[in-house]
Amino acid sequence: MSTNTPKKHIISALVENKPGVLNRLVSLFRRRNFNIDSLTVGRTHKQHVSRMTIVIDGHRLNPRQMVANLYKLVNVIDARLISEDLHVERDMALVKVRTDDTESFNAVTELCERFPARIIDMGMQVAIVEITARTELVEEFIGQLKPIGIIELVRTGVVAMGRGVRTQDTEYEPASMTLQDGELERYSV
Amino acid sequence: MLLTGAEILLECLIKEGVEVVFGYPGGAILPTYDAMTKYPQIRHVLVRHEQGASHMADGFARASGKVGVCIATSGPGATNLVTGLATAMMDSVGIVAITGQVARGSIGTDAFQETDVTGVTLPVTKHNYLVMSAAEIPLVVEEAFHIARSGRPGPVLIDIPKDVQIEKAEFLGYPTGKLRLPGYKVPDSAEDNDIVEAIRLIQEAERPLILAGHGLIMSHATQQLQELAELAGIPVTLTLLGKGAMSEHHPLCIGMMGMHGNAASNHAIQEADLLIALGMRFDDRVTGNIKTYSPNSRKIHVDIDPSEINKNVKVDIGIVGDLRTVLTQMLPLVPRKQHPEWVRRIRDWQEDGSERDILTHYDGTALLGAQVINDLWKFTDGNAVTVTDVGQHQMLEAQYYPHQRPASMLTSGGLGTMGFGFPAAIGAKFAKPDEEVWAIVGDGGFQMTLAELATARQENVDVKIAILNNGFLGMVRQWQEIFYEQRYHATPMVNPDFCKLAEAYGIPSMRVTSRDQIKDSVEFARSIKGPVLIEYVILKEEMVYPMVPAGADLDKMIRRPKLGEKQP
Ligand SMILES: Cc1ncc(C[n+]2csc(CCOP(=O)(O)OP(=O)(O)O)c2C)c(N)n1
């Protein structure tokens, strides 16, 4: 086995915002023995569409297979292997660190100046710092906080977007669940 | 028109052209059963176990090319469908399963007979729905049938809470034509570049071979397949589910490949310099050791499912599309060619195979499964629709019953579901009432779903049941003989008297113990319009050869010795 860190693949998927869709995706990945590194889901500017960013450990996998599999899910509108093209990616972490003496407090503040991070909650004993950056930078930041004393940590996982004018979007507008009166003539009843 | 959810459902099924449904009632689906009394156009077949219903819907779908429908109640009714859904999923069969669910307000409370059926069936369906209002039933039904039958077909489940079946809604019509499926794409034609590249490979090939699968039958591309093979002089080998894609009497058709395929097919695959895989998915049962699979060939793979391309076998050209469309695109460009030397080599392998055929040099007295199948073929004029169960008899049918037309041999390939054969044959008979339908089953598998004898009797289904009774779970015994030093643990079976059993169900029967009775048995079965059971008592320890041990190289087969050679 190679000692390099395994290559990570980032897939971005537009999915219908319906109950159970997340379950379908996760079930598919588990079924196909794909290892999810991180997964984020959120709404888009269109109410009926959610966007997921899935990072997978691509050590022994063909990422195209994964995308082809995603297309088999009826609720997946569009799926792309975003890591193969120019893209930006961000990971965010909230870290609660010890700041109960001047030394630690100064160390944290200093780190926040060197990294794209800031203190968002300040108490007598602890502070919460936020960092939003590329994964590697987030990891480096966390590494440097460690000796000061990390108490709690939470990360969002990666979100990513392709660069430039090529967009990942959908024209799709959901039909109403039932037929409208005027539409009847169009159909054989 | 203000109708109940149940009535809307049935209206929609009628508009979909559904004439028969296989099902079993229960509390959560009762409103739908009650509404059926108003829709006599839909024939309901009462099964004896919901698994039977799912296999009947499956057999109906495979035989007719239409969507098969089964119905069950919530909880245990629905979970009993799961094996049938998984079977249909693996073999890409379009069925729609309708299940009752507890009332909306009770969902998530562990109510009586509540099971998260959409959750349970998620991995074994192409798609599924939990319907939360009567008004959405038409759209859901339309989508479900569309998804079940289009693209790579598969099972779709619709779970309908009891109160949704009762709730009234305005029914404005069907089909709605408003499919809300933004992410559902059905591939059709191929890119011109890929076609040109494929033709170039065909042009250059000296030892080409077509691997013909189930996809050809489903996309009605069997005519195109034959034209391709004839034009470019390419031999064709079949997967188990591809049987019927090309007449096995055609000189270019060399029969089945794989674990129990013809040795000639397996040798040809390993020696070929071009494989053209059409609507098949390189299952491990046809590839053997994937690392040494067809090492010197270039490969073209045509399939409607993009995730099949490069899944198991890396190919040079992957074409995603409907086979009929893609082959139609290819045909005008296909070069006229012959490969006499290649065909001669294949003939030699075939010759060698015939010399090892047990039928040519068997000198025992006991009846052989191979003889039974071969004679069934002869006396049904090679023209029956056969539906097999899983085991040795299944492989023997594949070897000794050559088929000539698509959808005339139905079997559970991908999942290998014992218990499939008999109920699926009932379903097939509903699809093809004018054809002779034979269920060919083992004594083991038959006992998994034999309760459907009552269904066959009640509905007077004209299906002939051939039980190949060897008193063993034969295929497992074969593995124990070869790989476990003949420790026959948990494979010998004390069986019921199958003829008496048939009698208890009011089904005529006959027991056959020697070869000269086979003709009579077929005539007897044919003389009765309705279910008939024939028990063929066969040699207990028959072996199915050739056999590629699981994971071995495809051409490292265990062969039956020729006359005079030592036993393997
Ligand atoms: C539901 C199920 N359980 C177990 C198996 C494993 N299995 C495969 S073949 C076989 C033996 C089948 O015996 P029988 O039905 O008597 O047919 P034969 O092989 O003797 O023709 C078994 C147990 C299976 N395929 N399906």
Which of B139, B176, B307 shows the shortest C-beta gap to A65?
B307
* Burial (Cβ within 10 Å: 0-12, 13-18, ≥19) of residue B223: middle
Residues A75, A81, A83, A88: is their CA dihedral positive or negative?
A: negative
Which of B133, B177, B183 shows the shortest C-beta gap to A75?
B183
Chain B contact present for A178, CB below 8 A: yes
Residue B392: CB partners within 8 Å, gap ≥ 6? B369, B442, B468, B470, B474, B475, B478, B542, B544
Q: Write down the pLDDT at residue B547.
A: 97
| Strand-by-strand arrangement of the B274-278 sheet | B253-256, B236-238, B208-212, B274-278, B298-303, B317-320
Find residue A126's DSSP bridge partners: A98
Nearest protein CA to atom 1 of ligand 1, as residue: B418
Nearest to B280 by CA among B261, B255, B262, B305: B305
Question: Which residues in B lie closer than 8 A to residue A15 (C-beta atoms)?
Answer: 183
Q: Write down the pLDDT at residue A189.
A: 31
Chain B contact present for A72, CB below 8 A: yes
Helices B392-400, B369-379: inter-axial angle, 10-degree rounding:
50
Look up residue B44 and give its two tokens: 């309901």
What's the gap in Å between B445 CA and the centre of ligand 1? 6
Regions of chain B short of the pLDDT cut 50? none
Tell if the CB–CB gap between B133 and A177 is shorter than 8 Å. Answer: yes
Helix (H) or strand (E) holding B238: strand B236-238
B211-238, pLDDT tens digit by residue? 999 999 999 999 999 999 999 999 999 9
Eight-state DSSP code of residue B54: H
Residue B74: CB partners within 8 Å, gap ≥ 6? B26, B27, B28, B29, B99, B100, B101, B102, B113, B114, B115, B117, B162
Regions of chain A short of the pLDDT cut 50? 1-4, 181-189
Residue B403: CB partners within 8 Å, gap ≥ 6? B243, B244, B247, B248, B382, B386, B409
B286-306, pLDDT tens digit by residue? 999 999 999 999 999 999 999
Do residues B460 and B43 touch, judged by C-beta distance below 8 A?
A: no
Question: Which of B 300-359 lie inside 8 A of A, CB atoms?
Answer: 305-307, 309-311
Q: Is the peptide bond before B340 cis (omega within 30 degrees of 0)?
A: no
Chain A contact present for B123, CB below 8 A: yes
How many angstroms separate the CA atoms of B17 and B9, rounded?
Answer: 13
Q: Where are the alpha helices (DSSP H) in B459-538?
A: 474-483, 498-504, 518-527
Interface probe, candidates B176, B179, B303, chain A, greatest A C-beta count within 10 A: B176
DSSP state string for B188-225: -SPPHHHHHHHHHHHHH-SSEEEEE-HHHHHTT-HHHH
Nearest protein CA to atom 3 of ligand 1, as residue: B418
- Using the structure block, give the residue that is written with the tokens 């590839």: B287
Tell if the CB–CB gap between A74 and B181 is shorter than 8 Å. Answer: yes
Beta carbon pairs, A and B, within 8 Å: 79
A6-33, pLDDT tens digit by residue? 578 999 999 999 889 999 999 998 888 8
Do residues B50 and B80 touch, judged by C-beta distance below 8 A?
A: yes
What's the gap in Å between B542 CA and the centre of ligand 1? 15
pTM: 0.95
Any ligand 1 atom below 6 A from CB of B443: yes
Question: Which residues in B lie closer than 8 A to residue A187 (C-beta atoms)?
Answer: 173-177
Q: Which atom of ligand 1 is nearest the CA belonging to B369?
A: 21
Residue B41: CB partners within 8 Å, gap ≥ 6? B14, B19
DSSP state string for B90-108: HTT--EEEEEEE--GGGTT
Q: Which atom of ligand 1 is nearest the CA belonging to B478?
A: 19
**Other residues' Cβ atoms within 10 Å of the Cβ of residue A154:** 10
Residue A33: CB partners within 8 Å, gap ≥ 6? none
Any ligand 1 atom below 6 A from CB of B470: yes
- Torsional class of B288: left (φ above 0), alpha (ψ -120 to 50), beta (otherwise): left
R_g of chain B computed on alpha carbons:
24
Chain B contact present for A27, CB below 8 A: yes
Residues in chain A: 189
Residues B460, B461, B466, B467: is their CA dihedral positive or negative?
A: negative
Residue A104, min C-alpha distance to chain B (Å): 49
* Burial (Cβ within 10 Å: 0-12, 13-18, ≥19) of residue A48: middle
Question: Which of A 28-47 lie inside 8 A of B, CB atoms?
Answer: 31
Q: Which atom of ligand 1 is nearest the CA belonging to B416?
A: 25
Tell if the CB–CB gap between A179 and B306 is shorter than 8 Å. Answer: no
Q: Write down the pLDDT at residue B568.
A: 57
Residue B95: CB partners within 8 Å, gap ≥ 6? B54, B57, B58, B61, B67, B68, B69, B70, B84, B85, B88, B148, B155, B156
Tell if the CB–CB gap between A178 and B135 is shorter than 8 Å. Answer: yes
Tell if the CB–CB gap between A16 and B182 is shorter than 8 Å. Answer: yes
Upper half-sphere CA count for residue A146 (Cβ side, 13 Å): 7
Residues in chain B: 568
